[in-house]
Amino acid sequence: MDYLAGLNPSQRSAVEQIKGPVMIVAGAGSGKTRVITYRVAHLIQKGVDPFNILVLTFTNKAAKEMRERIMSVVGQEAKNIWMGTFHSVFARILRVEAELIGYPKNFTIYDTDDTKSLLRAILKEMNLDDKLYNVNHVYGRISSAKNNLISPQEYNKNEALMAEDISNGRGQLGQIYLTYAQRCYRAGAMDFDDLLFKTNVLLNKFPDILHKYQHQFKYLMVDEYQDTNFSQYLIVKRLAAVNENICVVGDDAQSIYAFRGANIQNILNFQKDYPDVKVFKLEQNYRSTKTIVNAANSVIEKNKNQLEKNVFSENEDGDKIKVKRAFSDNEEGKIVAETIVEDQMLHALKYKDFAILYRTNAQSRAMEEALRKMNVPYKIYGGTSFYQRKEIKDLIAYFRLTFNPNDEEALKRVINYPRRGIGDTTLDKIMVTADQHQYRLWDVVVNAQMFLDGRSSGAVGNFGLMIQSFQAMAKSSSAFDTAMHIAQHSGILKDLYEDKSVEGLARYENIQELLNGIKEFSEREDIEEKGLDVFMQDIALLTNDDNDKDPNADTVSLMTIHSSKGLEFRNVFIVGLEENLFPSQLALNSRSELEEERRLFYVAVTRAEKKLHLSYATSRYRWGTLNNCEPSRFLDELDPSYLALDFQERRASAAGSFQGERVAWKQKEADTFSKPKPRVMKTTSILPKAHVPTEGFAPSDTSSLQVGMEVEHERFGFGKVVSLEGGKGDIKATIFFKELGQKQLLLKFAKLRIV
């Protein structure tokens, strides 16, 4: 296979440069994944041992796709590449080296729910106001500290951080962080941020370990480098220090994760870190039409802090971008749903060709309601993933306890599930006893007769014996056999089986699906270690994109713009383009924040392949109050030559920009406050009034349809057939509708009644 033949000159140059520091600036839709995979394949073809290659990604899905592509070029050797997310790769290293920093090799990985549960318990013990010390805020503060490599001890010595906490009325944050770290250590657990934080500790404290991995990973590649935080940056820099065969791939224009610690300066300053770097720019967009690419460029060029590049497309010009104005968010949803139905019918598209993108999750409500009313199937990305469902987390907590009985969050979760007579009072006594004697909770459980009285002593002791029996079985049985034994003997399967409600049946089926997944894992031939503990590590490190529903399902996709990164759709709707919503009101305090919002808009625009629709509402409910809305500045920043004619005319009538509408909006706001009066909700939809079908409407057999016949469409109303074209099964009818004008419909989808 001549994998180089299909590359353009820029892509090929980037693939063939295998020595020294390399930066690949990959514009949207420029074939970035192909370049990364072929570059790794090229390294192997040139004699580099796959065991010496480290490829870091941000999702397991990306890593899996890359490995499969590399395998198609170099064969089974691709299995030996160290490839995965930052968290999965360094969790793998920590499994080997953890004892050096005082952790067991079978340490538990806490997910966000585990972390927040532990933090709530600490806040309760410290008698702190959980409204002032909001658990999400506390979690974010600790996460930020770890991503900046600030330990609990350093945090409490840092006068600036402590002063900031005190001024915000949260002077105990440092102590919470310290207690949280101690509890995790006691439980033999690391959270997601620890996987990177502890890796930095390991590489910093043990020069021999650093030396070991520097010489193992002779070639490093980092995908989405613009999304790396300080902790990730430092690990990569340390590992690459000896050989400097480091290649980073990214696009500063798509850096949209500052809120979770990503630092755009990592990619902007890469040339300063490596002065002899070779820079390759992938500027040809293969995804989108010229109109969409040029429109995106016209907005992102307003950012000052960026790498210079000229993204272009050689695809067709394509349709101009349509901008729709709605009176309310509900009407905006109606316009979007009607447009999807119309496009789907006129162009014989599938529902999965459409995506609706929004700035905040709350905006999905109006879209969902409108789609449901028109019977349009949809799915929401970013909902509850399979592994976050209660019944799944319950069974996995038993698995976790089996391999790490010191995992206190898992123990608290299932010690009385299914019910076995261990109430909150008994659990509180176990926790108090453990604190008094500086024991772990498990120590108290297995010695229950020493610390507890009567019935509770027996119940807790029996629970401990059950977990110990699971531990004994796990040592000699397969992952599936162990999992099935635990599901049965813990009582979970029986408890769910006896719940005959619809929800109970679904939960029981979910457990069966988990067990099916473990069976499949046990039979995989591409991995050597197939223990239940290895399976648990895999699922603990799943990223949000790895749990999507069936990708082949014919449904409209709804998601936040952050969730859409890396995806592409034929037709895209970006909704809610209003000031203080997009750009967000929270991101208008500095130029850097505004520029990130503009990059977010750029990401949204470049998800579209063929058609792009933008919309905004002039009023929207927030916190139960109807607010007037001002159009987003990003609409003003789009080059008008790429917008549909009707919108350009509306722009021109407003003195060449949105300023006229903004002035009107300000005046309307003033009038509202000076002369309070009830608002009349009038529809200002640009779509015609919906047709009311004839009573008893039923589609006719259109196999004998002829030019000149009168027909009725359920939504478009009455019309006359102007022409018919195409072969049997794919006949297109051009029909002139009285209310809408001329439209072209595929007869097999049109559902027409011959009058």
Q: Are 206 and 100 in contact (CB under 8 A)?
A: yes
What is the torsional sign of CA 645, 648, 653, 658?
positive
* pLDDT at position 489: 95
CB neighbourhood size of 44 (10 A):
21
Confidence at 464, pLDDT banded by 50, 70, 90: very high
- On the question of pLDDT at 551 being above 80, the answer is no
Mean pLDDT of 490-515: 85
* pLDDT at position 116: 93
Q: Are strands 619-622 and 108-110 parallel, antiparallel or unpaired?
A: unpaired
- On the question of pLDDT at 171 being above 90, the answer is yes
Confidence at 688, pLDDT banded by 50, 70, 90: very low
Query: 25: which DSSP letter?
Result: E
Q: Are 718 and 736 in contact (CB under 8 A)?
A: no
Q: Cα–Cα distance between 630 and 658 in angstroms, integer?
A: 9
Active-site residues, by number, are 32-33, 223-224, 254, 607
Question: 739 or 652, which is more confident?
Answer: 739
Taking alpha carbons only, the member of 248, 251, 289, 334 closest to residue 617 is: 334
Residues 193-215 have pLDDT tens digits of 999 999 999 999 999 999 999 99
Tokens of 214: 């520097």
Residue 711 backbone phi and psi in degrees, to 5: -135, 165
- On the question of pLDDT at 426 being above 50, the answer is yes
Mean pLDDT of 294-314: 92
Helix (H, G, I), strand (E, B) or coil at 221: strand
Which residues, at least 6 apart from 169, have a Cβ–Cβ distance to it below 8 Å? 132
Taking alpha carbons only, the member of 559, 615, 580 closest to residue 357 is: 559
What is the average pLDDT value for the chain, to the nearest integer? Answer: 87
Q: Cα–Cα distance between 411 and 296 in angstroms, integer?
A: 51
Tokens of 515: 């067990």
Q: Cα–Cα distance between 713 and 560 in angstroms, integer?
A: 34
* pLDDT at position 477: 87
Confidence at 534, pLDDT banded by 50, 70, 90: confident
Residue labelled with tokens 């009168």:
710
The amino acid sitting at 541 is: L
Taking alpha carbons only, the member of 562, 28, 66 closest to residue 251 is: 28
Which residues, at least 6 apart from 635, have a Cβ–Cβ distance to it below 8 Å? 323, 577, 614, 616, 658
Residues 361-374 have pLDDT tens digits of 878 888 988 998 88
Provide the angle, in degrees to the nearest 10, between the axes of the packed helices 135-147 and 112-125: 110
Confidence at 728, pLDDT banded by 50, 70, 90: low
Q: Cα–Cα distance between 255 and 169 in angstroms, integer?
A: 33
Q: Cα–Cα distance between 646 and 551 in angstroms, integer?
A: 36
Q: Are 239 and 214 in contact (CB under 8 A)?
A: yes
Q: Are 722 and 735 in contact (CB under 8 A)?
A: yes
* pLDDT at position 102: 94
Say how many Å lie between the first and final Cα of the chain, rounded: 60
Tokens of 101: 């920093």
Helix (H, G, I), strand (E, B) or coil at 84: strand
Query: 132: which DSSP letter?
Result: T
Tokens of 228: 């790396």
Q: Cα–Cα distance between 111 and 538 in angstroms, integer?
A: 12
Tokens of 511: 């457990």
Q: Are 532 and 481 in contact (CB under 8 A)?
A: no
Mean pLDDT of 442-467: 92
Confidence at 686, pLDDT banded by 50, 70, 90: very low
Cβ-count burial 92-122 (b if 16+ within 10 Å, e if not): ebbbebbeeeebeebbbbbbeebbbbbbebb
* pLDDT at position 656: 42
Which residues, at least 6 apart from 544, have a Cβ–Cβ distance to it below 8 Å? 382, 385, 563
Tokens of 625: 């109050």
- On the question of pLDDT at 225 being above 80, the answer is yes
* pLDDT at position 521: 80
Q: Cα–Cα distance between 514 and 499 in angstroms, integer?
A: 18
Taking alpha carbons only, the member of 260, 227, 312, 276 closest to residue 148 is: 260
Q: Cα–Cα distance between 535 and 522 in angstroms, integer?
A: 9
Mean pLDDT of 238-242: 95
Q: Which stretches of 594-684 are assigned E, i.e. beta strand?
A: 608-617, 619-622, 625-628
- On the question of pLDDT at 5 being above 70, the answer is yes
Confidence at 731, pLDDT banded by 50, 70, 90: confident
Residues in the chain: 755
Confidence at 75, pLDDT banded by 50, 70, 90: confident
* pLDDT at position 272: 92
* pLDDT at position 396: 94
Which residues, at least 6 apart from 673, have a Cβ–Cβ distance to it below 8 Å? none
* pLDDT at position 126: 94
Confidence at 672, pLDDT banded by 50, 70, 90: very low
Distances (CA, A) of 315 to 312, 318, 523, 609: 9, 8, 45, 10
Q: Cα–Cα distance between 124 and 12 in angstroms, integer?
A: 59
Burial class (CB in 10 A: 0-12, 13-18, 19+), 255: buried
Cβ-count burial 48-84 (b if 16+ within 10 Å, e if not): bebebbbbbbbbbbbbeebbebbbebbeebbeebbbb
* pLDDT at position 654: 43
Tokens of 203: 């590489």
Q: Cα–Cα distance between 342 and 340 in angstroms, integer?
A: 5
Mean pLDDT of 231-242: 95
Q: Cα–Cα distance between 391 and 393 in angstroms, integer?
A: 6
Residues 251-282 have pLDDT tens digits of 999 988 888 788 889 999 999 999 999 999 99
What is the torsional sign of CA 391, 393, 399, 402?
negative
- On the question of pLDDT at 222 being above 50, the answer is yes
Mean pLDDT of 472-478: 89
- On the question of pLDDT at 604 being above 60, the answer is yes
Confidence at 472, pLDDT banded by 50, 70, 90: very high
* pLDDT at position 384: 57
Confidence at 546, pLDDT banded by 50, 70, 90: low
Confidence at 665, pLDDT banded by 50, 70, 90: very low
Q: Cα–Cα distance between 600 and 264 in angstroms, integer?
A: 13
Which residues, at least 6 apart from 35, have a Cβ–Cβ distance to it below 8 Å? 7, 11, 14, 15, 24, 26, 249, 282
Question: 695 or 17, which is more confident?
Answer: 17
Cβ-count burial 405-439 (b if 16+ within 10 Å, e if not): bbbbbbbbbbbbbeeeebeeebbebbbebbeeeeb
Question: 173 or 501, which is more confident?
Answer: 173
- On the question of pLDDT at 605 being above 90, the answer is yes
Distances (CA, A) of 14 to 9, 279, 597: 9, 8, 30
Q: Are strands 556-560 and 378-380 parallel, antiparallel or unpaired?
A: parallel
**Rg, C-alpha atoms of the chain:** 30
Residues 81-98 have pLDDT tens digits of 999 999 999 999 999 999
- On the question of pLDDT at 538 being above 90, the answer is no
Distances (CA, A) of 173 to 133, 177, 313, 404, 450: 8, 6, 51, 29, 36
What is the torsional sign of CA 199, 204, 209, 214?
positive
Tokens of 689: 């009034």
* pLDDT at position 652: 46
Mean pLDDT of 333-356: 93
